[in-house]
Amino acid sequence: MTLPDAAATPAGADRTFQVDLRGLVDLLSHHLYSSPRVYLRELLQNAVDALTARRGLEPGAPADVFGIRLYADGSVVRVEDDGVGLTEADVHTFLATIGRSSKRADRIAEQRGDFIGQFGIGLLSCFLVADEIHVLSRSARTPDARAVEWRGRGDGSYTVRTLPASARPRPGTTVTLTPRADTGEWTRPAQVHALARHFGSLLRHPVTFDDGTGGAGGAGGPGGAAGTGGPGASVNPEPAPWARTYPTPGARSRALAAYGEGVFGFKPLDTIELDLPAVGLKGIACVLPEAVPAGRRHGHRVHVKGMLLSERAEEILPEWAFFVRCVVDAESLRPTASREALYEDDTLAAVRDALAERLRAWIARAAASDPDLLARFLQAHHLAVKSLAVHDDEILRMLLPWLPFETTDGHTTLDEFARTHRTVLVTSSVEEFRQVAAIASAAGLGVVNGGYTYDRELVHRLPEIRSEVSVADLDPATLTAHLDPVDRETELAATAYLARARDALAVFDCDVALRTFQPASAPALLVDSREARHERTRSQLAREQEGGLWGDILGALRQEAPRAQLILNQLNPLVRTAVAIDEPELARTSAEALYGQAALLSRRPLRPAESSLINRSFLDLLAHALRKDS
């Protein structure tokens, strides 16, 4: 924060960068921090780091003798700690130099992981709510150290003076802010208390809050420096829920679920305990009771050393884990400067892998021994699990048999379906499934709708875990082969009609066949696949463009175009009448009308030529009916 006098520096001499503190604070507030409220988090975090450093100096001291006291009475906000404190030299080096941090100094590089801060900018966040930061500190490193007072101002100026040790009888630091009038939203006593609870409820050091009214556990007045704050109300009266002891495992899981509900606002379907001793991580994963859109990632709550750093950290779990939200407290995860994300390093990668493993183990346990939980889980999250199973062999093996699919036997699990159908047929689109489902099922075929994301791919992998089952794509030929042929005599009688029908429908590359199938009420079935339609469109374009550049390109791409098939149902009374028509024009029109009706039933978008065919055949039939009547 020092601003050297540029004019006094001789020409050619090395100059020092100057910092426009207002500009810097502006940058932090608009681009680094999500809200001015983070000032309290930064103050608490500095106090926690100072307590950690003090514990390094006095490892034998009882756990609760050093603490943090907050005070806010509407005119000041004060955070006082029994931490390591600062000497006068420390104040110049660390407080007054932006970007310098005692937690990154060389001699403690190996301990850097012990501290939450490291960038040397956190204190600047206080300028989001106040124009001046007042620090009164006394170092614990030298027993007879003098107290030191520092005042830093938003314009970049600061003053330092030393005071007799009696000005701060015990080692530690007190930071006092006089909030600007427009920042009441973040600095009113009730708000400071709420923020302290929010950020500090899991801190392991005793933290108290006092609003200066002397009520409800509060005591002491706003006056002066150290040690006058009184006992105050505890901000973190209880340890983290996973660190408490409970009379029974049931009581423990109910308490963890209630904590999860309090934090996230939903009643978890189940609560998974997380414990990774290698990185000192503990916490819970709450399984969401309802489906979330695939791919939507939730933020997780990450505490470091008890301090809430981020509510939106996505990085601690892999992308597929979008069915849980976690609260974790870790010793050695490193936050970024904004604290709202985690630094992507080997530790974070290892944590992510280990937590993913934990979720897999939970799924495996549910699959093996808790069918009721598994069913509720899959009901809400089957889509998430399907996306997971595509890439994860273990999940596939555990869960594929239990996943629901749309089949010709209704919505059922693959396991159930494969028990009645040793050959499982799968369509490649929803539309194909809609076309064939009723008829295939009447013909005794077992078909799964493979049109939804992941489904076809997953069904094809069923033989990996059920070797007795075979899976094949359902193509028109397979279906036609399963429909009963008509006897020779009927076939012969229909030859002329079928020839006329083929001729009428040649423009659609459509073959016509006569079969018997259930339900008898269905006159005709149009069997056609999307790929076949695309192939025919391409071939047709190539023909139209013959000789041109596009014609050559499309022609080169041309494959043997599979033909559509209109299968007429000999069991249907209308079809039986139609195949007996002698009059060529009427026969042609009836074939067109049957094609049009089957195309409509297939629920796929109609091509313009098909729409005009339906139109024309309807009008022709109407004209024919009217002529007959007159």
Ligand X SMILES: Nc1ncnc2c1ncn2[C@@H]1O[C@H](COP(=O)(O)OP(=O)(O)OP(=O)(O)O)[C@@H](O)[C@H]1O
Question: What's the CA gap between 452 and 406, in Å, rounded?
Answer: 9
- Nearer CB in complex with ligand X: 47/483: 47
Beta carbon of residue 464, minimum distance to ligand X (angstroms, whole number): 50
Beta carbon of residue 98, minimum distance to ligand X (angstroms, whole number): 8
Helix (H, G, I), strand (E, B) or coil at 547: coil
- Nearer CB in complex with ligand X: 117/232: 117
- Nearer CB in complex with ligand X: 140/321: 140
Question: What's the CA gap between 2 and 155, in Å, rounded?
Answer: 10
Beta carbon of residue 337, minimum distance to ligand X (angstroms, whole number): 6
The amino acid present at 628, given as its one-letter code, is K
**Interface positions with ligand X (CB under 6 A):** 42, 46-47, 49-50, 81, 83-86, 94-95, 101-103, 117-123, 173
Spatial neighbors of 473 by CB under 8 A, at least 6 apart, are: 425, 426, 427, 428, 450, 456
How large is the C-alpha radius of gyration of the chain? 38
**CA angle 236–133–28, rounded 5-degree value:** 85
306: left (phi over 0), alpha (psi -120 to 50) or beta: left
Question: What's the CA gap between 399 and 386, in Å, rounded?
Answer: 9
Q: Taking a C-beta distance cutoff of 8 angstroms, is the pair 148, 86 a contact?
A: yes
Beta carbon of residue 106, minimum distance to ligand X (angstroms, whole number): 14
- Nearer CB in complex with ligand X: 304/527: 304
Residue where the block lists tokens 């209308």? 574
Beta carbon of residue 156, minimum distance to ligand X (angstroms, whole number): 15
Beta carbon of residue 45, minimum distance to ligand X (angstroms, whole number): 6
Helix boundaries (H) for 287-343: none
- Nearer CB in complex with ligand X: 335/476: 335
- Nearer CB in complex with ligand X: 87/478: 87
Beta carbon of residue 85, minimum distance to ligand X (angstroms, whole number): 6
- Nearer CB in complex with ligand X: 28/504: 28
Spatial neighbors of 72 by CB under 8 A, at least 6 apart, are: 78, 187, 188, 189, 192, 193, 209, 211, 212
CB-based burial label for 449 (10 Å; 0-12, 13-18, 19+): buried
- Nearer CB in complex with ligand X: 72/287: 72
Question: What's the CA gap between 318 and 196, in Å, rounded?
Answer: 31
Question: What's the CA gap between 407 and 405, in Å, rounded?
Answer: 6
Beta carbon of residue 405, minimum distance to ligand X (angstroms, whole number): 51
Extract the tokens encoding 141: 């490193």
